[in-house]
């Protein structure tokens, strides 16, 4: 008995041929664009569309934006930033000119945040809260009479800081998120305004920190003053100062503690806490300062991201444009992000 071979149908051949043609096209696109990064602006767009069509969950967009601006660039926030600038000049971790390139670049990014990014963050915040309340209304706890207001506020702060720690860890461990986070670590002239040196789309990941305030909203709410002071602590941790807070440094993140997180010649997935060190201590990512780490250089080994110090002339606008597009560019030669062995920089630290 002989078996006969049935030739594949023309339909099957056609689909196989289409698949072969589609694969090179997909490969060509992936060579030009880091496709996973596109998921972040997609999530942001979907969230904002939901928030806008639902009337921002009943909140007023303009009022929320005004409140956020008060927290970030209001009188209290600017007073805190001004005081920290004075401390930087009195007790610097590293001597830097007042108008160092890194400082000027962070001023540019801070200005962009104050004028353009804050409305984007406001839209994200209102939209995320609206979605949480609609999808998981059971998360919102009712008013608990015996619970003191101050205790609810303190719980929100601690839980919010814990969420920030968890997202920060993910931003270091997940390659897609790291592509957006590495701009923050590219600073080689650390200063108080480095807190603003973030990619706009990184705010999508930090939406998780809003959950505690949604859960306990009926029992307490963070005032604008509390939020401004919390932001001041985070900003101070990025300052170019050699301060360790003494015994309080075991609880509150100091500039000396956080500088280790930005070290050029060490692991950067440590000391991830925003305001509190307890999360790093609980999960084994705490590295406390020593005399050697206080004045450590900061930045990214090998400068995988274009920085303002790498060009003969500052070209701040052009460099910032490249930095904004960088997460969507393909990785030509992926390298370890947390290696303890430093690589040579592409250029010296001169010309600041």
The string of pLDDT tens digits covering residues 210-242 is: 999 999 888 888 999 999 999 999 999 999 999
SS3 content of the chain, % helix, strand, coil (to 5): 60, 0, 35
Q: What are phi and psi of 307, to 5 degrees?
A: -125, 160
- The pLDDT, as a whole number, for residue 29 is 67
Give the rounded distance of the alpha carbon of 343 from its chain centre: 24
Confidence of residue 22 (pLDDT cuts 50, 70, 90): low
pLDDT in tens, 307-331: 999 988 889 999 999 999 999 998 7
What is the distance between the alpha carbons of residues 166 and 212, in angstroms, rounded to a whole number? 13
Question: In Å, how far are 237, 276, 285 from 230, measured between CA atoms?
Answer: 11, 10, 22
Return the sign of the alpha-carbon dihedral for residues 137, 142, 147, 149.
positive
Span 344-349, average pLDDT: 36
Alpha helix stretches (DSSP H) within the chain? 10-32, 39-53, 61-73, 75-90, 101-112, 118-135, 149-173, 175-185, 211-215, 224-237, 255-261, 278-282, 316-325
Report the chain's mean pLDDT, rounded to a whole number.
Answer: 88
Question: Could you tell me the pTM of the whole model?
Answer: 0.86
184/195 Cα distance (integer angstroms): 8
């Amino acid at each position: 008995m002989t078996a006969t071979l049935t030739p594949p149908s023309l339909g099957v051949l056609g689909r196989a041929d289409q698949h072969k043609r589609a694969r090179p096209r997909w490969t060509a696109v992936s060579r030009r664009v880091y496709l996973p990064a596109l998921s972040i602006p997609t999530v942001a767009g979907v969230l904002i569309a939901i928030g806008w069509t639902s009337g921002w969950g009943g909140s007023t967009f303009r009022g929320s934006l005004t409140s956020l601006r008060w927290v970030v660039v209001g009188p209290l926030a600017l007073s805190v930033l001004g005081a920290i600038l004075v401390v930087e000049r009195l007790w610097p971790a590293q001597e830097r000119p007042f108008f160092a390139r890194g400082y000027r670049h962070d001023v540019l990014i801070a200005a962009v945040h104050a004028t353009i990014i804050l409305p984007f963050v406001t839209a994200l915040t209102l939209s995320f809260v609206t979605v949480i309340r609609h999808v998981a209304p059971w998360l919102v706890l009712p008013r608990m009479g015996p619970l003191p207001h101050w205790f609810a506020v303190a719980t929100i702060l601690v839980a919010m800081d814990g969420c920030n720690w968890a997202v920060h860890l993910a931003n270091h461990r997940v390659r897609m998120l790291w592509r957006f986070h590495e701009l923050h670590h590219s600073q080689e002239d650390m200063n108080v305004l480095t807190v603003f040196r973030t990619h706009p789309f990184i705010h999508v990941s930090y939406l998780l920190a809003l959950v505690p305030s949604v859960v306990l909203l009926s029992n307490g709410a963070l005032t604008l003053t509390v939020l401004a002071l919390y932001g001041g602590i985070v900003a101070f941790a990025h300052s170019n100062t050699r301060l360790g807070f003494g015994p309080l440094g075991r609880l509150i993140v100091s500039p000396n503690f956080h500088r280790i997180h930005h070290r050029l010649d060490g692991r950067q997935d440590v000391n991830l806490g925003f305001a509190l060190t307890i999360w790093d201590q609980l999960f084994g990512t705490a590295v406390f300062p020593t005399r050697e780490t206080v004045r450590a250089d900061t930045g990214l080994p090998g400068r995988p991201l274009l920085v303002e110090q790498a060009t003969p002339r500052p070209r701040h606008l052009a460099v910032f444009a490249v930095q904004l597009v960088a997460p969507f560019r393909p990785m030509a030669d992926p390298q370890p992000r947390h290696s303890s062995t430093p690589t040579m920089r592409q250029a010296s630290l001169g010309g600041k």
